[in-house]
């Protein structure tokens, strides 16, 4: 016998209500659910891309499936670009400019990027199915409801991410106060032609908020044997932008980015000024010279020669894996020392590291497979920060061996970070100041036997 069961009101809802529900799933829930699940651990504010995505959904709610799907993909690309630009302190324009270098990267080296890629593919597949259904908002009331829910979603995201917003998307406003490690340390004034000048910009070396970790970082570069030979001063400076912004800060003395010097020379940048004083100027980078066009703009700011990852590996540096695979930073100081020892003219040698670019892999070739041996507590609490510090430490040890050798010539050495390490999760990110990077200056001590200043190696320029 058939028994007639009452149909629920849910199943009897109108097509107009079903369309509104599908619109909300396609344009509010689906594009944002992955980001919202990450609220637990952190992330940059996303109110604007949420609003833009909802607005695109409103404009296309009556469109055909192909138009809606293309609009959805465009909205997802825009949302991802906003997220990445905020995470890595880039403007959208800088990020778009850098997309041409995407093939230089190896995201498959990181499980984090693999998971994100799989999530994106899954989301696009679900959207392909759902956007074939009706998303028509049949009357003004439902249009207003959709807009109101979009605003509520954007406002909720803003409230959830309020605590971390200061460390994201640090782009200098016109007239922003300028500071740099070069200026604060007085490095330019030390360049009298009597000693070599070395600047090392360390990828992702931010200023720790914990005093003990700050001391640990300074001690990585100023070990006891280094302090025996060098006067050590340290401090911090503001940063804006990503690595190339940090290079413009320290090398050209202003907030800006490399497109400013792609097509024209700038005689005011530090390498050009030192070249005019008789220094031989050279730039080294452990990654590819084509990345961010460094092989093009380094000469424009005064570098007479450049050496990039391939040349460093040809000269004996090992290859180190990562999202940015290149020469192992730990192997570069030996080449740096050999170059300065053989030079008969004062050198300005600038070196940009790469291995500590996030995410830092747990990897035997990087020597990061067992960070608990380096710092068990740091590894237990902040494992990726531990691996990053382990790389700093290995590079610092290699540098110390070179610059404390008896035959190493006198040199003023500035070590400075480029930007905050762009950790995604809140716990890691909060361990670093949101707006500052550290610097350490090593200046040769007077001769211990005579208590006089180091004897000039070169004629003063």
Q: Is the pLDDT confidence value at 83 over 90? A: no
Cβ atoms < 10 Å from Cβ of 396: 25
Taking only the tens place, the pLDDT of each residue in 320-346 is: 998 889 999 999 999 999 999 999 999
**In which element (H, E) is residue 436 found?**
strand 436-444
Residue 1 pLDDT level (bands cut at 50, 70, 90): very low
Q: Is the pLDDT confidence value at 31 over 60? A: yes
Residue 398 pLDDT level (bands cut at 50, 70, 90): very high
CA–CA separation, 65 and 67 (whole Å): 5
Which of the pair, 157 or 179, is modelled with greater confidence?
179
Taking only the tens place, the pLDDT of each residue in 3-15 is: 454 555 556 667 8
Instruction: Give the per-residue pLDDT at 449.
Output: 40
Instruction: Give the per-residue pLDDT at 458.
Output: 61
Q: Is the pLDDT confidence value at 190 over 90? A: yes
Instruction: Name the 3-class secondary structure at 285.
Output: strand
What mean pLDDT is predicted for residues 128-142?
Answer: 90
**For 190-221, what is the HEC assignment?**
HCCCCCEEEEEEECCCCCECCHHHHHHHHHHH
CA–CA separation, 253 and 180 (whole Å): 7
Taking only the tens place, the pLDDT of each residue in 216-240 is: 999 999 999 999 999 999 999 999 9
What mean pLDDT is predicted for residues 189-193?
Answer: 94
What mean pLDDT is predicted for residues 29-34?
Answer: 89
Name the percent of the chain lying above pLDDT 90.
66
Half-sphere exposure of 425 (CA within 13 A, CB side): 11
What is the pairing mode between strands 280-285 and 305-307? parallel
Instruction: Give the per-residue pLDDT at 104.
Output: 66
What mean pLDDT is predicted for residues 28-54?
Answer: 82
Instruction: Give the per-residue pLDDT at 11.
Output: 62
Instruction: Give the per-residue pLDDT at 219.
Output: 97
Instruction: Give the per-residue pLDDT at 241.
Output: 87
Q: Which of 22, 274, 223, 36 is nearest to 133 (CA)?
A: 22
Taking only the tens place, the pLDDT of each residue in 267-313 is: 999 999 999 999 999 999 999 999 899 999 999 999 999 999 999 99
Residue 85 pLDDT level (bands cut at 50, 70, 90): confident
Distances (CA, A) of 148 to 48, 59, 64: 15, 15, 24
Task: State pTM to two decimals.
Answer: 0.83
Residue 24 pLDDT level (bands cut at 50, 70, 90): very high
Q: Which of 328, 331, 288 is nearest to 307 (CA)?
A: 288
Q: Is the pLDDT confidence value at 460 over 70? A: no
What mean pLDDT is predicted for residues 158-168?
Answer: 62
CA–CA separation, 386 and 392 (whole Å): 10
What value does the mean pLDDT of the chain take?
Answer: 88
Find which of 118-122, 143-147, 401-405, 422-426 is predicted with most confidence, using mean pLDDT: 401-405
Residue 114 pLDDT level (bands cut at 50, 70, 90): confident
Instruction: Give the per-residue pLDDT at 448.
Output: 45
What mean pLDDT is predicted for residues 171-189?
Answer: 92
Q: Which of 135, 193, 218, 251 is nearest to 393 (CA)?
A: 218
Name the percent of the chain lying above pLDDT 70.
86
Computed on alpha carbons and rounded to an integer, the radius of gyration of the chain in Å comes to 27
User: Domains of the chain (ranges plus CATH)?
Assistant: 15-167 (no CATH), 181-444 (3.40.720.10)
Taking only the tens place, the pLDDT of each residue in 87-112 is: 777 777 777 776 666 666 666 666 77
Residue 387 pLDDT level (bands cut at 50, 70, 90): very high
CA–CA separation, 344 and 309 (whole Å): 25
Instruction: Give the per-residue pLDDT at 278.
Output: 96
Which of the pair, 443 or 10, is modelled with greater confidence?
443
């Amino acid at each position: 016998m058939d028994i007639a069961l009452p149909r629920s009101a849910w199943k009897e809802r109108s097509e107009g209500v079903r369309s509104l529900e599908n619109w909300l799933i396609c344009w509010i829930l689906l594009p944002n659910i992955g980001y919202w699940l990450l609220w637990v651990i952190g992330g940059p504010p996303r109110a604007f891309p949420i609003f833009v995505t909802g607005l695109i959904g409103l404009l296309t709610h009556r469109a055909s499936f192909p138009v809606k799907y293309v609009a959805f993909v465009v909205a997802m690309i825009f949302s991802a670009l906003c997220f990445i630009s905020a995470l890595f302190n880039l403007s959208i324009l800088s990020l778009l400019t850098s997309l041409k270098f995407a093939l230089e990267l190896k995201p498959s080296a990181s499980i984090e990027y693999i998971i994100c890629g799989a999530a994106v593919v899954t989301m696009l597949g679900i959207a392909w199915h759902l956007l074939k259904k009706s998303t028509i908002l049949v009357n003004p009331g439902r249009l207003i409801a959709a807009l109101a829910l979009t605003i509520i979603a954007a406002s909720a995201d803003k409230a959830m991410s309020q605590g971390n917003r200061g460390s994201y998307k640090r782009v200098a406003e016109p007239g922003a106060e300028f500071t740099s490690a070069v200026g604060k340390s007085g490095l330019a004034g030390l360049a009298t032609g009597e000693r070599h000048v070395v600047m090392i910009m360390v990828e992702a070396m931010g200023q720790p908020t914990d005093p003990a970790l700050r001391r640990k970082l300074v001690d990585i570069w100023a070990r006891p044997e280094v302090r025996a030979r060098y006067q050590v001063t340290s401090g911090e400076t503001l940063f804006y932008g990503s690595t190339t912004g940090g290079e413009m800060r320290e090398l050209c003395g202003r907030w800006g980015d490399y497109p400013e010097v792609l097509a024209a020379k700038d005689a005011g940048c530090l390498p050009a000024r030192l070249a005019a004083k008789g220094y031989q100027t050279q730039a080294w980078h452990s990654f590819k010279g084509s990345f961010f066009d460094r092989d093009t703009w380094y000469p424009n700011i005064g570098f007479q020669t450049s050496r990039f990852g391939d040349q460093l590996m040809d000269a004996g540096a090992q290859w180190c894996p990562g999202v940015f695979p290149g020469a192992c930073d730990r192997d570069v100081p030996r080449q740096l020392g050999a170059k300065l020892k053989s030079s008969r003219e004062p050198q300005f040698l600038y070196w940009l590291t790469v291995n500590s670019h996030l995410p830092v892999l747990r990897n035997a070739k990087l020597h990061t497979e067992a960070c608990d041996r380096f710092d068990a507590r740091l590894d237990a609490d902040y494992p990726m920060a531990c691996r990053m510090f382990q790389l700093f430490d290995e590079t610092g040890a290699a540098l110390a061996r070179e610059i404390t050798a008896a035959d190493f010539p006198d040199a003023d050495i500035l070590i400075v970070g480029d930007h905050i390490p762009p950790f995604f999760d809140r716990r890691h990110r909060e361990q670093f100041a949101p707006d500052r990077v550290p610097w350490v200056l090593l200046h040769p001590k007077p001769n211990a036997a005579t208590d006089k200043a180091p004897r000039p190696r070169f004629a003063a320029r």
